[in-house]
Structure 1
Amino acid sequence: MKDITTSEVAKKLAAKQPVHLIDVREVDEVAQGKIPGAVNIPLGLLEFRMHELDKSVEYTMVCRSGGRSGMATQLLESHGYKVVNMTGGMLAWEGDVE
């Protein structure tokens, strides 16, 4: 499983590089703030919504601390998706939130 740090994600966003963020936290958690542009697909729904994702795109998975996003990364990798896990999750995120 590939990992990326929160600071590496922030640098990519600041440089206007394409970053496809999927936040796998529950809806009520995301309502408290998410990284701008992140798409919310709760972990429990990911298996049923993965058809919405493009296998040619690399996705960065985000959760509260990195555990659920790690599970999401493994699930998507096992189905042939390009995925990286943002270590530390939103607890370590120091960038903007919306």
Structure 2
Amino acid sequence: MNQINATELISRLQKGESLTIIDVREKIEFHTYNIGGVNIPVSAIGDEIDELDLNKSDEIIVICKAGIRSRTAQAILEQQGYQHVRNLTGGLLAIQKLQ
């Protein structure tokens, strides 16, 4: 599985890269703390991903609290034909440790 670590993601965000980030936590979790991106809970990712009008070859970074739900979302998106889905290892907990 393709992954990205917290250090790389923070670095890319600080450089101002335009990234497609999908936060797959529940809406209340997203509103409590987030690093941006689009909030689509993992339970809805299969249905709502098409609303973003992404190219199947675009890089998509999926994130959650610890990296488990985002791993599930990654598998769902790959089954739907998305070719470059990256999971944030350690999730937002890993990002918070670096800040």
- TM-score normalised by structure 2 residue count: 0.88
Matches within 5 A, 1:3-22: 3-22=3-22
How far apart, CA to CA, are the structure 2 residues paired with 1:9 and 1:20? 11
Residue aligned with 1:31, SS: helix
Does residue 72 of the first structure (1) align with residue 73 of the second (2)?
yes
Indicate the larger mover: 38-47 or 87-96. Answer: 87-96
Deviations 1:4-58 (A, max 9, x none): 001100001111122111000001111111003x110000111111212412321
Runs of 4+ deviating beyond 6 Å:
none
- TM-score normalised by structure 1 residue count: 0.89
**Percentage of matched positions with identical amino acids:** 38
* Contiguous gaps of at least 5 residues in structure 1: none
How far apart, CA to CA, are the structure 1 residues paired with 2:87 and 2:51? 19
* Contiguous gaps of at least 5 residues in structure 2: none
Which residue in 1 is equivalent to 2:40?
41
Deviations 1:43-82 (A, max 9, x none): 0111111212412321100001000000000110111112
Does residue 50 of the first structure (1) align with residue 49 of the second (2)?
yes
How far apart, CA to CA, are the structure 2 residues paired with 1:76 and 1:93? 23
Tell me which of 86, 89, 94 is aligned to 2:88. Answer: 86
How far apart, CA to CA, are the structure 1 residues paired with 2:50 and 2:17? 24
How far apart, CA to CA, are the structure 2 residues paired with 1:50 and 1:91? 24
Q: Which amino acid aligns with 2:17?
A: Q
Cα RMSD between the aligned structures?
A: 1.5
Q: Which has the higher helix share?
A: 2
Q: Which amino acid aligns with 2:42?
A: L
